[in-house]
A and B are shown apart, each in its own frame.
Chain A
Amino acid sequence: MFRNYFKIALRNLLKYSFISSINLFGLTVGLTCCLLIFTYILHELSFDKHHQKADRIYRVTRSWSGPTGDVSLHLGTIAPAFGPYLTNDFSEIEKMTRLLQSGNVTLRYEDKLFIEENGYFADEHLFDVFDVQAIKGNVHKALNDPFSVMLTRELATKYFGNDDPINKVIRFDNQFDCKVTGVYASFPANAHMHPNLLISFNTLKDTAVYGEKRLRTSFSNNSFFTYLLFPAGYNVKNIESQFPNFIDKVMPASPESKSKPSQNTRLELQKLTDIHLRSHLDYEAEENGDIRRVYIFSAIALFILLIACINYMNLSTARSALRAREIGVRKVVGAQKKELIAQFLSESVLLSWIAIIIALVFTWISLPWLNILSGQVLSPRLLMRWPIILTLGLVPFVVGILSGLYPALFMSSFQPVKVLKGLFKTGGSNISFRKVLVVVQFSISIILIVSTVIVFQQLKYMQQKSLGFNKDHIITLPYITALSQTYDAFRTQLLEDPAIRDAGRSSRIPSTRLLDAQDSYTLVGDSMLPANLDIKYVSADYNFVTAYGVRIVAGRNFSRDFATDTAGFILNEAAVKVIGWKSPDEAVGKPFRYGITSGRVIGIMGDFHFESMHDKIAPLVLVLPPPLSSSYARISVKAAGSNLSGALNHIEKTWKSFLPDIPFTYNFLDENYARLYKSEQRQGTLFTIFAFIAIFIASLGLFGLSAFAISQRLKEIGIRKCLGAGTGTIVGLLSKDFLKLVVIAALIAFPVAWYAMYTWLADFAYRINIPWWAFIMAGLIAAGIAFATTSLIAMKAAVSNPVKNLRTE
């Protein structure tokens, strides 16, 4: 029986090759999109699952809440002292391991000198908790001794070529030497962190590096990634509920604060496998993915597949009239309804099989291209696993049944008496249903177009909205401690070239996160009292404000003329507002204490966007560290726009004359800002592509459907022409029906698209108003494409010879 179904299915596909190829092409493109998105989703869901103990590993995070109870800061890292206390207090913790990002480090081996990113200090328990594949060295000992380092295979080759790296000595930041004790395989792409080198944690005990006492006692340097391993099946809620008491027990209470430490800070546990998709804390090892993006793209994949399935439903029912006699005959010779349903379903399943095979090939070919667009590292190997292959094997059945069931039910219900007598006509309800399907297709397409337009408008807005300073021609360099003694001379030499306008130092630069905060105190009555406000700080020198061109709206900038400025504060307008001072002018001169430094407000700067547009402008204070301070992290150089390459050459020359042992590296600030919106940019690009594909498949279906519908009306067209109708009138008549459907589709799509984009935009602190013209534009695009599609066929029918059409009928 099935052999017969298969044979007939194949012959029917060939016989109705026009409709079959539209169906096949639509399904193939739809399935290719689905497979590409499916690969992306598999990748996103696979993060950190390669560790054998993945479901038992938790990361400890720390949050702070303000006086209103709102979380003001939530970090994926905690202070170093917590780790040992945790293992001491909670016997259920099987293992604890800590990692600390080393920042960019300069590594020298013989004549090789490079700056390396992604260095981590890691303790010896790392290998007990995580699965890291060791290539050389003994993982149980490699990180035991201070000043030991393990490298990835790539890094080992970079420094040592084919030589055995074990026991080789590398100089770090020109400060200390480390012995290579092991080589490991790079962490896979689907890991939430990618250390290039692991320096033994015990190195931190050296006072010159960090200091053992600080490691033991510091609760304020919350930079340590701390992972805990629990026994299988352990409910971590048990331990989490004890964290407040634990905090109060181990953390010294602030002498000024009457409240317990647990009242404003919390420790939480985060499942390792949740970090990539569900963790968006203020400090993460790397930029994470987003479960919402997974949902959005899953929905897009399903929508595109639905559009392709609708094509099949529409075209199959449209051409059912052509198959009516076959169905009648089959019934007469004994076919039951269920056998006919099986036959039609086997046709759609067969088509889906062909489509998925071609789609797999397309996916294979287009994956590298998607990787470029999405910035992902997706591999077709993700699909080459048995559970996935078996799932993929089910897809043609699901798609085949989804797209074929309605046509099968519809066609199998034909009455043989009627169809064999030629009394069969495709009924009104069936035509209406087809129209509903076209409306669904175009609604989805219009929603995608509106979304694309709005995503790009928001991107444009974020990139063009004034930041409150001019981000152009600002080059940022790392601030090296070795420069602290000679910085003034370095700056003077920099400014010798007219291509350089200014240069200033700071602990953080705009485009990064503001994560540092201390308690602020203001004068109430006669005494300085805690303001209980979340005010961030940046350490900045005399030239930070001028280099960035930040406006001073009241008071003045830090100045070398005032020795007391290390106790002076520059606040932004947002800080003035939260403190409750009435105006910037009133604020200037007010007593202010920040952390342990007491002084006065010397200036108020206009608000500017330090962080991305996702975040509201935070209250900020600039503090001036004492000379020779190590608080600075970056130098920002403002160049004249006319000769940027000359400016860069001069900066490099100056750098090399002061820091011959440190490689010169730099960033352009505007590029940093662009990177902040990279994920939205990619999302926008992918939206455009998928919206285009959706409307393409929908118009392909419309093309087939209108071709069929018009072929049924050739006699009418002939008669109208004989009676004097012109080509334009006939094209208008034939296209009108389909345009009406697009109008209905638009009316359905608009509110849905509005709601979807309203929700999406809510994520941005600074966002556009949803532009009304995006809807008009999407509607016009859809109508234009629908009109072009149908009028192409209508035109062909309208210009044909009416006599021929009448004779054909």
Chain B
Amino acid sequence: MIKISQLEKIYRTEDVETIALNKLSFEISEGEFVAVMGPSGCGKSTLLNIVGLLDDPDSGSFLFNGIEVSKFNERKRAELRKRNIGFVFQSFNLIDELTVFENVELPLIYLGAKLAERKNRVQEVLDKMQIMHRRNHYPQQLSGGQQQRVAVARAVVNNPKLILADEPTGNLDSANGNEVMQLLTDLNEKGTTIIMVTHSEHDARYSHRIIRMLDGQTVLENIMV
């Protein structure tokens, strides 16, 4: 599903050049659950942003479902992103002015789904995430665990092929963290590919494969049994 080869990303300021990704190459197949680990500044998040089409590499190739997307412009990237990729962030990133229902509905609006379809789909996902009873609440009225469940609901509402999770349990206690990891595992079992950046060995154990990074390169790959 994802084939990355010789990917490079360099951040430049006036005096300093920081290599975030250094000729990175790997592949991820459809249905895989991959955890990306490494110390801060090793390039995990840069990798996630590039795979999530939020950022573009300086050089190298990135095939998404066999299509070269590294040179896509902003519009094409947004188009591909909204149909195929869901995001889950450490800080949830829900919109405070929208209710739970409206936050989850948002990707469907940008996909151009009809009102009835949106309603059904959001209800279905909220039911699955067991937060239907909170549908009319605003994010700040929810606990951290509930907020992350909403974020996961939002990430999956348009049935993306790929979910990118950036330290999804980073702001949660262990009980809520486990719940979120279980949700991700369930989604993966139903066929969704998941790439998760994490510092937590515990969370990484939910994945099939761990890619360990250092200085913008993969240094180790563990296959989980």
Contact = CB atoms under 8 A, between A and B. Distances in A.
Nearest to A337: B74
A329 B79 CA distance: 15
A49 interface: no
Interface residues of B, number: 30
B201 interface: no
Interface string A264-281: 000000000000000000
Contacts of B133: none
B98 interface: yes
Contacts of B154: 333
A336 B53 CA distance: 13
A335 B95 contact: no
Contacts of A332: 52, 54, 81, 87, 93
Contacts of B106: 330, 333-334
A532 interface: no
Contacts of A12: 97
Contacts of A329: 93-95
B95 A1 contact: no
Contacts of A335: 78, 110
A239 interface: no
B215 interface: no
Interface string B52-89: 10110000000000000000001100110111000101
Contact of B111 (A4, A7, A334, A337): A334
A416 B97 contact: no
B109 interface: yes
B49 interface: yes
How many A residues are at the interface, by size bracket? Answer: 20 to 34
Interface string B182-199: 000000000000000000
B141 to A, nearest CB: 15
A805 to B, nearest CB: 24
Nearest to B74: A337
A4 to B, nearest CB: 6
Contacts of B96: 326
B168 interface: no
Given A1-B109, A333-B110, A339-B110, A328 B93 contact: yes
Contacts of B158: 334
B49 A417 contact: yes
A331 B78 contact: yes
B43 interface: no
A516 to B, nearest CB: 76
Contact of B82 (A8, A325, A334, A417): A334
A5 to B, nearest CB: 10
Nearest to A325: B93
B145 interface: no
A420 B96 CA distance: 14
Interface in A7-25: 7-8, 11-12, 15
B89 A420 contact: yes
Interface of chain B: mostly helix, strand, loop or mixed: helix
Nearest to A5: B109
Nearest to B98: A8
Given A4-B109, A334-B111, A337-B74, A420 B93 contact: yes
A329 B151 CA distance: 11
A328 to B, nearest CB: 7
Nearest to A335: B110
A336 B94 contact: no
A7 B95 CA distance: 13
A435 to B, nearest CB: 24
Nearest to A15: B97
A334 B97 contact: no
Contacts of B93: 325, 328-329, 332, 420
Given A1-B109, A420-B89, A334 B78 contact: yes
A640 to B, nearest CB: 78
Given A12-B97, A15-B97, A420-B89, A333 B74 contact: no
A8 B99 CA distance: 11
Contacts of A417: 49, 54-55
A336 B95 contact: no
B87 to A, nearest CB: 5
Interface in B90-132: 93-98, 102, 105-107, 109-112
B54 A326 contact: no
Contacts of B105: 4
Contacts of B89: 420
A8 B109 CA distance: 13
Nearest to A9: B97
A84 to B, nearest CB: 76
Nearest to A4: B109
Nearest to A339: B110
Most B CB contacts (10 A, CB to CB) among A11, A329, A334, A420 go to: A334
A334 B95 contact: no
Contacts of B49: 417
Q: Which of B83, B87, B96, B109 has the most CB of A within 10 A?
A: B109
Contacts of A326: 95-97
A704 to B, nearest CB: 20
A334 B81 contact: yes
B161 to A, nearest CB: 14
B82 A333 contact: yes
B212 to A, nearest CB: 22
B97 A8 contact: yes
A336 B102 CA distance: 18
Nearest to A336: B78
A7 B97 CA distance: 9
A331 B106 CA distance: 11
A282 B98 CA distance: 69
B101 to A, nearest CB: 12
A331 B45 CA distance: 17
In the A-B complex, list the 8 residue pairs whose CB atoms are closest, starting with the nearest.
A334-B82, A334-B110, A333-B107, A11-B97, A329-B93, A336-B78, A417-B54, A417-B49
18 contacts: A11-B97, A11-B98, A15-B97, A328-B93, A329-B94, A329-B95, A330-B110, A332-B81, A333-B106, A334-B82, A334-B111, A335-B78, A335-B110, A336-B78, A337-B75, A339-B110, A417-B55, A420-B89
Interface of B: 45, 49, 52, 54-55, 74-75, 78-79, 81-83, 87, 89, 93-98, 102, 105-107, 109-112, 154, 158
Given A333-B154, A334-B107, A335-B78, 20 more contacts: A4-B105, A4-B109, A11-B97, A12-B97, A15-B97, A325-B93, A329-B93, A331-B54, A332-B81, A332-B87, A332-B93, A333-B106, A334-B111, A335-B110, A336-B79, A337-B74, A337-B75, A337-B78, A415-B54, A421-B45
